[in-house]
């Protein structure tokens, strides 16, 4: 049965372009340290993952907000020489993931806490996938977006290559702009590119829904020079 194109709504926002306070918020947080106490269940999950990766002794790929783990499985095939870790805070979503393979592990954890532990413990991350995060599209919700949050500098430092995918063009544009701003302020040279892409073989459930609904999909690549 053909999917009703109206079944998956486009992102609605009262923003017509990048948020007017984007630069202010990036500057506010770029040289500060995020000090919220780390959740105990995330700390425990981190050490369980650390045991797994130590046995393999190879570079790591992170799939943050992996949902049901479809994208994690795709990444495990793309990076067979790496250990791929899928992270999501929802036990329900993770319970619907498939069978893990030799180089893949899923973990229930709070992303912001897990990222801080990764950076603190100097994991060798090769690639970081950030696919279809909640866009929090209302202007009043902007500070919930990763690039408006004090965690953003940590996010940029995690991996030499980070890929963001979203179905909201403004989110992609803001993320790219914030990456350039933060990179300059941190004296961390970054190459940032943004483009529309077509998903011939959808890698996440959201990507499949958006593609079938005829929505534009956006990709932002952030690479350390």
Element housing 25 (H / E)? helix 22-29
158, 119 Cβ separation under 8 angstroms: yes
The pLDDT assigned to 90 comes to 86
The pLDDT assigned to 5 comes to 44
CA Rg value for the chain:
17
- Which residues are bridge partners to 197 per DSSP? 217
pLDDT, mean of residues 96-106: 80
pLDDT, mean of residues 124-130: 97
180, 203 Cβ separation under 8 angstroms: no
How far apart (Å, rounded) are the C-alpha atoms in residues 56 and 47?
A: 15
Q: Is 79 helix (H, G, I), strand (E, B) or coil?
A: coil
The pLDDT assigned to 8 comes to 74
88, 67 Cβ separation under 8 angstroms: yes
pLDDT, mean of residues 57-78: 94
The pLDDT assigned to 1 comes to 30
Per-residue DSSP letter, 60: E
125 pLDDT more than 60: yes
Q: For residue 99, what are the contacts with CB-CB under 8 A and spacing of at least 6?
A: none
Element housing 208 (H / E)? helix 205-212
- Which residues are bridge partners to 128 per DSSP? 62, 162
The pLDDT assigned to 57 comes to 87
pLDDT, mean of residues 63-73: 94
Topology of the domain comprising 22-224: Rossmann fold (3.40.50)
Q: Of how many residues is the chain composed?
A: 225
| Tens-place pLDDT, residues 180-204 | 999 999 999 999 999 999 878 899 9
HSE, side-chain direction, 13 A CA sphere, residue 3: 13
| Tens-place pLDDT, residues 13-38 | 999 999 999 999 999 999 888 889 99
Average pLDDT, the chain: 92
HSE, side-chain direction, 13 A CA sphere, residue 144: 9
DSSP 81-150: TSEEEEEES-HHHHTT-----TTEEEEE--HHHHHHHHHHTT--EEEEEEES-----SGGGGGGSGGGST
């Amino acid at each position: 049965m053909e999917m009703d194109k109206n079944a998956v709504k486009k992102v609605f926002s009262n923003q017509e372009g990048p948020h007017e306070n984007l630069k202010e918020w990036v500057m506010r947080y770029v040289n500060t340290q995020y000090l919220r106490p780390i959740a105990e269940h995330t700390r425990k999950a981190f050490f369980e993952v650390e045991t797994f990766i130590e046995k393999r002794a190879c570079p790591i790929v992170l799939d943050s907000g992996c949902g049901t783990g479809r994208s994690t499985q795709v990444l495990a095939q793309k990076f067979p020489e790496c250990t791929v870790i899928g992270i999501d805070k929802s036990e329900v979503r993770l319970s619907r993931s498939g069978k893990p393979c030799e180089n893949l592990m899923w973990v229930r954890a709070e992303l912001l806490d897990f990222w801080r532990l990764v950076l603190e413990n100097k994991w060798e991350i090769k690639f970081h996938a950030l696919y279809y995060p909640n866009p929090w599209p209302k202007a009043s919700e902007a500070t919930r977006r990763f690039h408006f949050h004090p965690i953003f500098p940590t996010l940029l430092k995690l991996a030499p290559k980070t890929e963001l995918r979203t179905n909201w063009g403004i989110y992609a544009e803001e993320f790219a702009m914030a990456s350039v701003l933060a990179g300059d302020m941190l004296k961390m040279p970054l190459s940032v590119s943004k483009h529309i892409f077509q998903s011939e073989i959808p890698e996440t459930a959201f990507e499949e829904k958006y593609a079938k609904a005829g929505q534009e999909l956006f990709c932002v690549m952030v690479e350390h020079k």
